[in-house]
Amino acid sequence: MLTKRLVPCLDVQEGRVVKGVQFVELRDAGDPVELADYYDREGADELVFLDISASHEGRKTMVDVVREVAGTLAIPFTVGGGINSVADMRQILRAGADKVSLNTAAVKDPALISEGSDFFGSQCIVVAIDAKWDEALQSWRVYTHGGRRETDLEVTDWAEEVVQRGAGEILLTSMDQDGAKTGYDLALTRAVNAAVSVPVIASGGAGSLQDFADVFLEAGADAALAASVFHYKETAVSEVKEELRKQGVNVR
């Protein structure tokens, strides 16, 4: 049986991991390669690197980071942030990433999803969706530009569209829950999961061990992404897995 995946997410700025792991004796806590290796040993199933560099130089540095990580890491990893064209995708995938994640660029130009999927295969095209509940409209709306801009897209409609266009996986972030550490948005995850045929990675809100169990058992997520709870060792990946096993969730 396929296992549920735990996915630590690392923010990279100008080639360095920021807000990285705070708790272990690492030679260099900002070194993406060392951190990737640490999470591999911890039992992480996949990694996501999010490039938050604003500069052109930072973007170029990211390609080197990807190449270095790919040279040592023996588990899959996804790269997101600043990928705006098929040429960007090619550069990152050629450098050794297994998947690329599109967010704002996919909303601006949905054809990019199918172009990428036709060219590289849908298995390496992840579409990231930032979702926020709209009380007036009584629905989740898609946000872009790192959550700063609201669109007129409804989340489950958009999710269906991106899959139809060739997305192989959806990385779904709840902006309402992100950073709150009170649990994943189960209703949102359930709604998107029911709407699409591809795997859904839930993101935003992980705080306790139970939060992980809930998103798998209650919302049917295929994978759970988290950043700060892993980096600050409020919960280690291995600890989360042990708890999941106890509750009957199939993990590696």
Partner 1 sequence: MIGIVDYGMGNLYSVSKALERLNTPYVLTEDVEKLAATDGLILPGVGSFNDAMTILREKNLDDMLKQAVKDGKPLLGICLGMQLLFSESEENGFTKGLDFLPGKVRRFSGQTRAGIRYKVPHMGWNLLQYRQPAHPLLEDTAEGHVYFVHSYVVHVDTAEVVVATADYDGDVPAVVGRNHVFGTQFHPEKSSNLGMQMLNNYVAYVKERQVQMSDSL
Copy the structure tokens of residue 102.
């599109």
The dihedrals phi and psi of 67, each to the nearest 5 degrees, come to: -65, -40
* C-alpha to C-alpha distance for 141 and 128, rounded to whole angstroms: 13
Per CB under 8 A, 17 contacts partner 1: no
| Closer of 196 and 213 to partner 1 (Cβ) | 196
* C-alpha to C-alpha distance for 154 and 141, rounded to whole angstroms: 5
Q: Report 100-139 residues binding partner 1 (CB under 8 A).
A: 120-124
Candidate residues 145, 245, 246, 252; the one interacting with partner 1 per rule CB under 8 A:
252
CB of 149 to partner 1, least distance (A): 30
* C-alpha to C-alpha distance for 50 and 54, rounded to whole angstroms: 12
Q: Could you tell me the end-to-end alpha-carbon distance of the chain, in angstroms, rounded to an integer? A: 10
Annotated active-site residue 51? The verdict is no
Annotated active-site residue 11? The verdict is yes
Per CB under 8 A, 150 contacts partner 1: no
Pair 143, 129: CB distance under 8 Å: no
Piece of the chain touching partner 1 by CB under 8 A; list 27-35, 55-63, 92-100, 107-115: 92-100
* C-alpha to C-alpha distance for 187 and 233, rounded to whole angstroms: 27
Catalytic residue among 45, 88, 130, 222: 130
* C-alpha to C-alpha distance for 193 and 94, rounded to whole angstroms: 30
Candidate residues 14, 34, 37, 98; the one interacting with partner 1 per rule CB under 8 A:
98
Candidate residues 18, 23, 24, 71; the one interacting with partner 1 per rule CB under 8 A:
71
Total binding residues toward partner 1, as defined by CB under 8 A: 32
Piece of the chain touching partner 1 by CB under 8 A; list 1-9, 19-27, 149-157, 206-214: 1-9
Per CB under 8 A, 93 contacts partner 1: yes
* C-alpha to C-alpha distance for 225 and 216, rounded to whole angstroms: 12
Residues labelled as active-site residues:
11, 130
